[in-house]
Each structure stands twice: as C-alpha cells, then as structure tokens.
Structure 1
C-alpha cells in the first residue's frame, strides 16, 4: 500500500519552507498523501503565538490545490498537550500495522529528538525522513547526541520508497530555504512585507484576522 507522510509542527505561520520540505519528501518517498498536523498544545516548547484554530486554517489555505496534502485537526481537537508518539499511535490504530508511515522532520527537530516524550517508540511506529542541508552530514555532526546516533545506526537505512511500515531512516539532502516562522512574525510585527515567504492565501488570512501585529 502507498506510504503516508506525517508532518507536524506549530505552523505559526506555515510558510514555503514547510511546503517545500513536504513536497520534496512526497516525491522522494512516493507518498500517497502528507498529513499536516498543527500542534494544539505542544508540550516541549513555549505556547504558540497564535490560536490553534488560526494555525489550522492557515495550513488549509496554504495546501489548497495540492491533492497530496491534507490538513489534519487531530492534535488541535485534543483538550490536552499532544505528543508525537500519541499521534502516531492513534494513526496506527486507525490505519493498521501494515500501513507504511513516514514521519517528516527538519534537521533541527531531528537533532532535538532525544528530548521528546518516549522518543525511541517513534521508530517502532513510523519510518523517519529527515531533511538535511546539502553537505551538512548530520550523522557526522558534533550536534547529534550519542543516544540518537546509536538509535539511528541500528535502523535500516532507506534510500527510497520501497520499505516497510516502520523502522527505517532516510536522510534527504535538500537545498536550504532560509525561511523561519519567527522571522516572518517579526517582519509582520513591524508592518513589513512578508510576501514571497509564504503563500498569498496565508498572508491574506493573516491580514484579515490581524495576526502577528505588534501590541
């Protein structure tokens, strides 16, 4: 059965860096669809600047017209903080153990993985695809913690879509798009132009609802 991608984050706001990562991974892994899952109450970082309902709507605006991309409200609808391991467990219960799942991560999130709740179980629930900068060589970086390096080295390396339901790791070199949600929020707070950093539909939504304006 075709694999499915799982892409979580605060998406505060969603921007072209997120969209390009998902698109490249979808092509590289032959993903049938990519689930964009905005965090409702992320437990491992500060509270997002923007309400979860707005962040979900911005994702819906951003991915409109791409048939492979789906906005998933599962974490937004939970009344308690959501861990990625809980989301993947729920997806496994819904889709079955045979469904190939790929958790899509940026390099920074990957390096921070040992701080996540029950992080080793992630490898049992899904394959993991990491977007690394061209020439970065994450596995040889001093930034990678030994528990994570040891865990990855035990896993089946992947170089394409032909793999099982879980347990493989793919490091995918991607051209860097130096766009950050923090930078976008700062630009908007000082009433600057964020055009060409995120889709026009998302920017229109931000202006309509007066998000990220300085107070």
Structure 2
C-alpha cells in the first residue's frame, strides 16, 4: 500500500518552495501527497487570504502534477487545526493499514514538543522532516537544539523508504537538494509594496492573485518589465 504524505500549512499563498517540497516527497518516497490547508493555524497569526482563495491557489499549483491533490479536511471541521486531530481523522478515513506520514520543515521539527498532544502524533502516523541545505537534522543536530524532540524521535528513526512498510510510529529525514528562497511572508510584502513577486509563484497562482487582487495587489505599482 502506497504512502500518503500529508503536507500541511497556511499556504498563504502557496509558492514554488512549497511545490518543490511536495514534489521532492512524492518522487523520493513514491508517495501520494496531500496538500492540507489549515483553517486556524494554532501557532501562527490569522491568515491573510480566506480559505476558499487559499484552496483555489493550491488547486492551481497542484494542477497537472501526478500524485498531488488538495485535502480540505482541516477546513471542513470546527476548531483549531491541531495536527494530532487531523491525523486521527485521516487514520479513520484511510483505515488501520495505510502508511501515513505528516511532513514538517526542520524549524517545525525542532519545535515539535510545543505542539498540542505531540507525542500522540506517532500513534496515527509517521513524521517526515524535510531538511534544508545547511540545516541538518541528524541525531546530534536535533539533540543539541531540541533534546526533548530527539528523545521521542531518536528511537523511531528509519530510512525514508521504510515509512511505507508500516502504518505509523516512524520518523525519517528527507534532505532537499537545493535551498529555496521563497517565503509566503516575503511574497505578501512584495505584492503589497509593488516589488517583484510573480517569479516566486506558479504562474497560475500569480494570475489568480492578480485577478482576485489579493494581498494588497494594485495598491502600489509593480516594477516595469
């Protein structure tokens, strides 16, 4: 049974860096990747675009990419988007045997012990951490910066390919091949101030932002080409 890798986030907006992570996970693990937009991120401020627009941007970004789809599970329920609750519902939907992994960035992994009922995550799925170049997530690296996290994930470590061999309980690290410069915060700032921003997004997403005039688009003149 193939691995279902769930990549959650605000995606406000989705950019090429997000897409690169999703494609790297898909290709490295031969996985089905679900992009899971958060309704109410517990660890962040309120989103800047509404849920419907964020979903549509994700659909445009994933369009035509085999193995990627958008799952609105967190938008379809009330309350904060706690990962443990999302995984519990995904497990109920997928059944007891489907391998499921929750994808996190390196910064999020090092703060995993601040997440709601974080130890229970492993009862419902694996954790797959994506390491950016220059920010390794080896045993010593995590132990030095987040000892409580390493105590929980250390004995769970396994090769990425092995996540598909069991439904839950594992931890693996996927090293990204290149450092991506994009961030949603910078995209929003550039749009609002008339900076150069479109190259940071899939073209269809950039077109949607212009059409919907999101993130203050049009408030400041864009640079001439």
Q: TM-score range, shorter-chain basis?
A: over 0.9
TM-score by length of 2: 0.89
Unmatched 5+ residue regions in structure 1? none
Match of 1:141 in 2: 141
Return the alpha-carbon distance in structure 1 between the equivalents of residues 85 and 132 of structure 2: 29
Deviation at 1:193, TM superposition (A): 2.3
Match of 2:24 in 1: 24
Deviation at 1:135, TM superposition (A): 4.4
Match of 1:99 in 2: 98
Correspondent of 1:196 among 195, 199, 204: 199
Does residue 13 (structure 1) correspond to residue 13 (structure 2)? The answer is yes
Does residue 155 (structure 1) correspond to residue 156 (structure 2)? The answer is yes
**Aligned ranges 1:115-130 → 2 under 5 Å:** 115-130=114-129
Deviation at 1:105, TM superposition (A): 1.2
Residue 106 of structure 2 contacts residue 135 of structure 2 at CA under 8 Å; is this kept in 1?
no
Return the alpha-carbon distance in structure 2 between the equivalents of residues 56 and 148 of structure 1: 31
**What is the DSSP-based 3-state SS (H/G/I as helix, E as strand, rest coil) of the residue aligned with 2:53?**
helix
Residue 126 of structure 2 contacts residue 171 of structure 2 at CA under 8 Å; is this kept in 1?
yes
Unmatched 5+ residue regions in structure 2? 220-225
Return the alpha-carbon distance in structure 2 between the equivalents of residues 185 and 86 of structure 1: 29
Moved over 4 A (4+): none
Match of 2:70 in 1: 71
Residue 42 of structure 1 contacts residue 81 of structure 1 at CA under 8 Å; is this kept in 2?
yes
Q: Against the structure 1 CA distance between its residues 159 and 6, is the aligned structure 2 distance closer, same or farther, given a 3 Å change threshold? A: closer
Match of 1:176 in 2: 179
CA-based RMSD: 1.6
Q: Against the structure 1 CA distance between its residues 129 and 62, is the aligned structure 2 distance closer, same or farther, given a 3 Å change threshold? A: same
Aligned length: 214
